[in-house]
Amino acid sequence: MRLENKVAIVTGGSRGIGRGIAESLAREGARVVVNYTRSELEAESAARAFGGLAVRADVSDPRHVTALFETAEHEFGGIDILVNNAGVAVFKPLAETTDEDFEFVFGVNTRGAFYCLREAARRLRNGGRIVNMSTGATVHGTPGGSIYCGSKAALQLFTRCLARELGDRQITVNTVSPGFTDTDMLRQFPHLVDIAPSMSPLGRVGQVEDVARVVTWLCTPDADWMTGQNIQAGGGASMA
Ligand SMILES: NC(=O)c1ccc[n+]([C@@H]2O[C@H](COP(=O)([O-])OP(=O)(O)OC[C@H]3O[C@@H](n4cnc5c(N)ncnc54)[C@H](OP(=O)(O)O)[C@@H]3O)[C@@H](O)[C@H]2O)c1
């Protein structure tokens, strides 16, 4: 129970990697706000399972994000951990990518993450933790991945700059970059499902728990001395 008395917000905590992170933080004793935008039943059942709170908020809307943080503070008395996990993906050749695709992906992945970071920078208690979820694909690039990888690359620089801004409050800021992980997001792209196991030297696709363990570790006192880093959590699929 290394996170007893800590309060965490996990954006996109209703499904996939975010849900695994929410469960893992709760197992360490944190009180967890499970954010979602559409999957109300999944979010409510996740929160019920470990005594957390499900809060609907579209992270691409700054008013929703402010309300999310206000609710967490009101219900639990403060916030210690933000896991900026909510994400969406569109994979198509850049020449076929529409303005709407760009707005959708950057709206959630980049602007949404930024709105959450701004609230976290204003509100997190001293000694807090921020983890931004990027992707290992920013290392090697991938055909059709321009807007997705571009939207996620920004998070790595948000991490480095904010780590320098918040260090005097002993708040750490890190990026975790998963490789292919078995979730609804990956299953949208059958061609990626096919190649996923061969991308890792360990010869298998990542599981939600593989990534959740890394994020949880970063939130514990064991990772006090880790800040401004980009941790590759893809079974060696990306080595940087
Ligand atoms: N899976 C992979 O192979 C992989 C690899 C590298 C990085 N990642 C990154 O890891 C993170 C989690 O991915 P995943 O595979 O677990 O995705 P997923 O299974 O598709 O789940 C996405 C989560 O994000 C939430 N979400 C989407 N749009 C949102 C919005 N506007 N506001 C609030 N929440 C929103 C969803 O909520 P609802 O349930 O309400 O829709 C859901 O909880 C993402 O940032 C993704 O880019 C994934």
Q: What is the CATH number of the domain that holds 226?
A: 3.40.50.720
Mean predicted confidence (pLDDT) in 77-91: 98
Mean predicted confidence (pLDDT) in 45-63: 97
DSSP state, 202?
Answer: T
pLDDT tens-digit map of 152-205: 999 999 999 999 999 999 999 999 999 999 999 999 999 999 999 999 999 999
- Quick check: is 87 in a domain? yes
- Quick check: is 125 in a domain? yes
DSSP state, 171?
Answer: -
Domain that holds residue 100: 7-180+208-231
Percent of the chain past pLDDT 70, that is, above it, reads 100
For residue 55 and ligand 1, the question of a CB distance below 6 A is answered with no
pTM, two decimal places? 0.98
Q: What pLDDT is stored for residue 240 in this prediction?
A: 75
Q: What pLDDT is stored for residue 170 in this prediction?
A: 98
Q: Are 63 and 34 in contact (CB under 8 A)?
A: no
Question: How much distance in Å is there from the Cα of 88 to the middle of ligand 1?
Answer: 6
Q: Closest ligand 1 atom to the C-alpha of 181?
A: 3
Number of domains in the chain: 1
Using the predicted structure, report yes or no on whether residue 5 has a pLDDT greater than 80: yes
For residue 183 and ligand 1, the question of a CB distance below 6 A is answered with yes
Q: Are 10 and 72 in contact (CB under 8 A)?
A: no
- Average pLDDT taken over every residue of the chain: 98
For residue 211 and ligand 1, the question of a CB distance below 6 A is answered with no
pLDDT tens-digit map of 109-132: 999 999 999 999 999 999 999 999
Question: How much distance in Å is there from the Cα of 14 to the middle of ligand 1?
Answer: 9
Quickly count: other Cβ atoms within 10 Å of residue 204's Cβ: 14
The DSSP bridge partners found for residue 174 are 131
Q: Are 112 and 86 in contact (CB under 8 A)?
A: yes
Q: How far apart are CA 59 and CA 88, in angstroms?
A: 11
- Quick check: is 197 in a domain? no
DSSP state, 111?
Answer: I
